[in-house]
Amino acid sequence: MPSPPGPPPAVPERRLALLLERTARLHRLTAHLSTAMSLEDVAAIVVDEGTDALAAHSGALWRISETGHELELVRSLRYPPEAIARVQRLAIDPRVPIADAVLRGKPVWLSSRADYAARYAESASRTEALTQPLDYSVAALPIMLEGLPAGVIALTFAGERPFDADERSFLSFVALHCAQGFERARLYEAESRARRRAEAAQQRAAFLAKASALLGTSLDYEETLRTVASLAVPGIGDWCVVELADDHGGSRQVAVAHVEPEKIELAYDVRRRYPPDPNGRSGVPNVLRTGESELYEEIPDELLVRGAVDEEHLRISRELGLRSAMCVAIKDRGTVLGAITFILARDDRRYTRDDLLMAEQLAERMGAAIANALLYRSAREAIRARDDFMLVAGHELRTPIAAISLLHESLIAVKDGTPLEKIRERGEKLRSQTTRLARLVEELLDVSRLSAGRLSLDRDQVDLAQVVRDVTDRMREELERSRTPLSLSLEPVDGEWDRSRLDQIVTNLVGNAGKYGKGAPIDVVVSRRGPRAELRVIDRGIGIAIDDQPRIFERFERAVSSRHFSGLGLGLWITRQLVEAHGGTIHVDSRPGEGATFTVTLPI
Ligand code: ADP
């Protein structure tokens, strides 16, 4: 029979009381620790409460840095400020007790100053300078997570301390709970980071969907861009600015949205006072020039200093509190149309690559929407121009047809004895109206040929002076009818040109000089200028306003009313096409009421 168990060995009463008290403290500490959600909270509870509970003189907690090469101070209690500065970051060096505890993965117990000096001489002599010359003891406990160190706790006690088995196991418990707290905080932080990321992704997707829908519905794109910008605030940014490129290498702001609407005026004001340098190496000008996106996860003060024009500019930039920004080009098939900028100016949110990706997707849709709206606008303008043109063309064609049909009738109705002279006169008129009709039809055909790019030149050796002589001979009668004097100054210039197209160029220009020349003298000058031939047609008629001058070389464009002058607005467009097909140039010098000089140059 086994002997009955004897009574358990007696625990001395003082030790029992101490053990009970420590267990109670450990309970309080773990209960409190279970509420800690961040590493900082865990460190605060462990250091502050641990130090007090153990009646330590001072305490601190470090974690292992992300690189794994250093210890970073998370919390310290009752460390003199100069000591805190020294221990903020520590190399993991076996000559320092806390680092040694990390390296070994085991607590380091230093029961007295002499013990410290004996085992870590170098570190002890450095510590000496900061501590009063009294005795002290140190416990350094690594915080182990799955067998690997994650940080270390150090507690310093006044006076010698043997660190008996009870105390060691109590402190080891504290370190164990601390490790659990670390793990919980790490998981919690990872989870809330993931949640924040998921929320941000959802917000971006929702914004993109809304903005895309908006962009697809309206053809008034400037208004739509403004709506999209205000939709982006505050979810995507605290500021959103849209700029559209102009024709002079600059840009104009078409939309500014801000969480605090009263700041919008400030933004316009800053831009007026400090217009962006179109050659700037960063920001909107750079994005407009290069088409490349820019992401400033962090906007450090030095960036503001670099971008500031003067003190006042810097002051305003700082006041705006810009923290993080991204700027993306709005493009349509490789052409930069504008840029959209998002700025964060309030909390600690920062833009990431994911935000930039969203901004690029948005900008792509904006580019397509703008291109669509422009295409729609120009299609409508083209349709309007074509309708106007049809009306004019109808009238223009009807005039010679009406004349021809009258002359035709009168010739059919000719009676015996009508003088031959009269019949011949009607025949002449009939020919002139038929020529006019043929010319109009030819112009129309030329337009469709040229628009379809079906112009081919039949080059030959041609003397430009001779072409002018032929054309003016043919037109002499017409000019005499309007009593327009014509003088020619012709230097023979031979070149490889298409004779009939050259004829057409001269006919158009001299014809216009006659039509718009008010019967005043016309000069036609042909001369050679180095490797080029120059033709000038000078009249002294109604002239052309400066603003109209570039326009008259376009299709259907006229600077006169059809009530006063007949015409289709095609002659100069055709002329320019023919000149350019020869590699030449055409331009006009004119002032209203003072006549016009058209100059054509052609490479020989
Ligand atoms: P159209 O003469 O049939 O209108 P054009 O293409 O030849 O068409 O000319 C376009 C416009 O340019 C004219 O409508 C007129 O306003 C202006 N223009 C052309 N030549 C002259 C000129 N010599 N003097 C003044 N205006 C002119």
Question: At 556, phi and psi to the nearest 5?
Answer: 65, 0
- Mutation test of ligand 1: which of 482, 552, 562, 574 has the most ligand atoms closer than 8 Å to its C-beta? 552
User: Do the beta carbons of residue 92 and residue 70 sit within 8 Å?
Assistant: yes
Q: How far apart are CA 515 and CA 600, in angstroms?
A: 19
The terminus-to-terminus CA distance of the chain in angstroms comes to 133
Specify the ligand 1 atom closest to the Cα of 570: 6
What is the spatial distance between Cα 15 and Cα 3, in angstroms, rounded to a whole number?
30
Q: Does residue 44 surpass a pLDDT of 50?
A: yes
| Beta strand pairing call for 486-490 and 251-258 | unpaired
Does the beta carbon of 510 sit less than 6 angstroms from any atom of ligand 1? no
Atom of ligand 1 nearest to the CA of 508: 7
CATH architecture observed for domain 216-377: 2-Layer Sandwich (3.30)
Q: Which CATH number fits domain 13-189: 3.30.450.40, 3.30.420.40, 3.40.50.12280, 3.40.50.300?
A: 3.30.450.40
Please enumerate in sequence order all residues whose Cβ is within 8 A of that of 116, keeping only pairs 6 or more positions apart, or say none: 97, 110, 123, 124, 127, 136, 137, 138
User: What residue segments make up the domains of the chain, in order of their start?
Assistant: 13-189, 216-377, 459-603
Looking at CATH, the fold of the domain delimited by 459-603 is given as Heat Shock Protein 90 (3.30.565)
Would you say the CB of residue 568 lies under 6 angstroms from ligand 1? yes
How large is the average pLDDT for residues 122-134? Answer: 73
Q: Which atom of ligand 1 lies at the shortest distance from residue 537's CA?
A: 23
> What pLDDT is attached to residue 1?
45
- 251 φ/ψ sector (left φ>0, alpha ψ -120 to 50, else beta): beta
Choose the residue to mutate in 388, 515, 516, 555 for probing ligand 1, maximizing ligand atoms within 8 Å of C-beta. Answer: 516
Q: How far is the CA of 549 from the centre of ligand 1 (A)?
A: 10
In this structure, the residue with its CA closest to atom 7 of ligand 1 is 571
pLDDT band at 132 (very low <50, low <70, confident <90, very high): low
Give the integer Cα–Cα distance in Å for 510 and 596.
Answer: 11
553 CA to centre of ligand 1 in angstroms = 9
Whether the CB of 505 sits within 6 Å of ligand 1: no
The CB of 513 under 6 Å from ligand 1? The reply is yes
For the four alpha carbons of 392, 397, 399 and 402, in that order, the dihedral sign comes to: negative
Residue 95 token pair: 């000559």
Q: How many CA atoms lie within 13 A of 576 on its CB side?
A: 14
Residue 379 CA to residue 342 CA, distance in Å, equals: 33
Six-digit token string for 504: 């057409």
Predicted local confidence at residue 129, as pLDDT:
59
Q: What is the pLDDT of residues 444-468, one digit of tens each?
A: 888 888 888 778 889 999 999 999 9
**For residue 234, cis peptide bond before it (omega within 30 degrees of 0):** yes
User: Of 458, 476, 455, 478, nearest to 574 (Cα)?
Assistant: 455
Token couple for 120: 């870590």
Rounded CA-CA distance 581/574 in Å is 10
**216-377 and 459-603 have identical folds:** no
Q: What's the mean pLDDT in 236-258?
A: 91
CA 222 to chain centre: 16
Residue pLDDT, tens place only, 468-519: 999 999 888 888 888 999 999 999 999 999 998 999 999 999 999 999 999 9
- Return the ligand 1 atom nearest residue 560 CA: 16
pLDDT mean over 43-61: 89
* pLDDT over threshold 90, residue 276: no
* Helix 13-33 vs helix 165-217: crossing angle, to nearest 10: 0
Q: Which ranges of 2-90 does DSSP label H, i.e. alpha helix?
A: 13-33, 39-44, 50-53, 81-87
Tell me how far apart the alpha carbons of residues 245 and 206 are, in angstroms, rounded to a whole number: 28
Structure tokens at 103: 């390296």
